[in-house]
Amino acid sequence: MSLRDDVLGRLDIVDLVSRYVNIKKVGKNRSGLCPFHNERSASFTVAEDKQIFKCFWCGKWGNALTFHMEIERIDFRDSLKILAEETWVDITQYQKDPEKQKAKSSAKEKLKLLNKRTQSVFQQYFIWSDADVYVREKRWLSDATIELFGIWYAPDSYDLTMQFLREKWFTDADLIDAWLAKQWKHDKAFAFFRHRLTFPIYDHIWNIVWFGWRALSAEQTPKYLNTTETELYQKSKILYGLHKAKNHLKEFGGLVIVEWYMDVIALAQYGLPTWIATCGTALTTQHTKLIKRHSDHLVFAFDHDGAWFEATIRWLKVAYEQDLFPKVFIFPDEFKDVDERLQKTDTWEVIHWKSLLSDSTKDGFEWALQEYEKRVDQENPVERKKVMQSLFEMLSKIEDYAVMQLYFTKVVDFFWLSEQMLWKQFRSWLKKGSARKRPVYKEHDADEKDLKTLSKIEDKYLLSVLFYNNFARTRWVSEDLYTSYAHVLRSICEIYPDSLLWNTFSGSLDASMHEKLSEAELYIDTSYGELDKNKVFVDIIDQRKKHAESIMIKKAPSDKKGEVLKLFGELKRMAR
């Protein structure tokens, strides 16, 4: 038996789902409102006898493990581990090297327990401390918010924390390994963090992995401490507040990322629980992968200090690599950050903060263009070139061709250049290796054999895009060649009114077709360099003809087969 089967065998899906959804008995099954989409009438069903769930509206279905992964937005491994602990399954018996895994697991589990015990020490010394005064009088945090985020106090003592943890059977070596204590040569170990406000940092499945520390007196430097990494805590993989925010995504629609703990905490107090922060580091690929697992909607709301513009541009590039397209929150000039904005907001505005947030955000790429327009003199060739390279780098990170085409068009307008000229600049920049290389942008040598190497984009889209909004004719193909082929292909398509090419000629395209054709358009524009475009045009048609001819003749009505043969024969003669 596998670990997965063992866990599922001990778990009752009705008990699990009932934690998240109010399900009522309907016949032999149970039914309720689907937790994965908004609905007013119940379409979500749990079959107790089969131990599966199914939503007959959004289509989500699966077993208890699938449900847990979806509802908690975690991966298979994390879900299996959590459910194994709940059902008292010993994971080590399923591991390839149980002893090694157990030792490694034990070290991590000990560290988790140590962090948990340390948190209880900090809570014990919080009342009437300087930290208590600071969060209530200077940050105006409520008891509920303080308790919710576990904001406590590291006592101003070298030994109090140490004594408590020793009583819980932790050694000084354990504390030193966890970076909670230090030791000078042969002296006694002492608490490393003292007289500081403490913020427990959770991973996305509610384990305390480390702490953030804030100074409480002017002589303490730096103001914030959050530099040490441990086996549990790696800053590039942890987002502060995500463990709470992920449970409110359905209500608020997406995540907002700010710079520091206090912004997240203040916003939660104002009823906005979907705000998160990096832990004193730049946004990383690991961060964006974690965000992508929970939501496709992201807003940047960074402090308006000296470096905020450059930082936001860098973070947009990181997000684009994971197919995330963030918006940017626009602060009024008098506020430097979200926390300050809230502190100076009256009650009425707080109630409407959600709509204010929506009204005050702009698509990240459009925001970048707007900011560059304010900051850069386009008459200065050095500045103009620098901005163009930055925008090209942003475009190069985007894998979705339809989105990239949308942004590229905006860059064309920004520089007041023709689209053909800017594509030429873009290809030249990519060829020099200024951005990461991707096959779709690879410049082909002017060799005829390369014309036979077509993309994985389906042939039917490569063919249809030639006649999409007169694409080929307006770009580069001669009028006579375009008209000749268009006449013959339109005649063929009239016999097959369900074909994509006929839909292209007739203009009856749905949204998905437009998107696919935009991708094909972008591919042709960027993939054939300085090749003879008339030759490219003929070759694409010939390539599709080879795939389609026998099929189309076979499918033709009996009274039309002769006409189809004649038309394909005309295509062959034209290609010679």
pLDDT digits (tens, 9 = 90+) for 15-64: 899 888 889 888 888 899 988 887 778 889 898 878 888 888 887 888 89
Best CA proximity match to 545, nearest among 562, 560, 525, 565: 565
pLDDT for the residue 158: 92
Three-state SS at 153? strand
pLDDT for the residue 475: 58
**How far is 317 from 393, CA to CA, in rounded Å?**
8
Between 24 and 344, residue with greater pLDDT: 24
- Range ranked top by mean pLDDT from 268-272, 479-483, 519-523: 268-272
Of 95-104, 149-158, 222-231, 255-264, least confident by mean pLDDT is 95-104
Question: pLDDT tens, 542-559?
Answer: 766 665 666 666 666 666
- Range ranked top by mean pLDDT from 66-75, 77-86, 223-232, 235-244: 235-244
Of 134-148, 316-330, 337-351, 471-485, least confident by mean pLDDT is 337-351
Owner of token pair 């963030």: 326
Owner of token pair 């922060």: 277
pLDDT mean over 321-337: 82
DSSP code at position 187: S
Question: Where exactly does CATH 3.40.1360.10 map onto the chain?
Answer: 239-368
pLDDT for 75 beyond 80 = no
pLDDT for the residue 550: 60
Between 421 and 475, residue with greater pLDDT: 421
Question: Where exactly does CATH 3.90.580.10 map onto the chain?
Answer: 3-93
Fold of 98-233: DNA primase DNAg catalytic core, N-terminal domain (3.90.980)
H-helix or E-strand spanning residue 148: helix 143-149
**How far is 454 from 463, CA to CA, in rounded Å?**
11
**CATH numeric code, 3-93:** 3.90.580.10
Helix axes 381-396, 364-375, angle to 10 degrees: 170
Question: Where exactly does CATH 3.90.980.10 map onto the chain?
Answer: 98-233
Q: Do 291 and 306 meet the contact criterion of CB atoms below 8 Å apart?
A: no
Helix axes 401-415, 419-431, angle to 10 degrees: 110
Note if the pTM is more than 0.85: no
- Range ranked top by mean pLDDT from 299-303, 449-453, 515-519: 299-303
Q: Do 66 and 7 meet the contact criterion of CB atoms below 8 Å apart?
A: no
**How far is 157 from 431, CA to CA, in rounded Å?**
60
**How far is 211 from 217, CA to CA, in rounded Å?**
19
Residue 201: how many CB atoms within 10 A of its CB? Answer: 23
**How far is 78 from 69, CA to CA, in rounded Å?**
8
Is residue 527 very low, low, confident or very high in pLDDT (cuts 50, 70, 90)? low
pLDDT for 450 beyond 50 = no
Best CA proximity match to 64, nearest among 5, 100, 16: 16
pLDDT for the residue 447: 37
Phi, psi of 504 (to 5 degrees): -70, -45
Q: Which residues is 44 bridged to in the sheet?
A: 32, 55
Q: Which CATH architecture has domain 239-368?
A: 3-Layer(aba) Sandwich (3.40)
Three-state SS at 53? strand
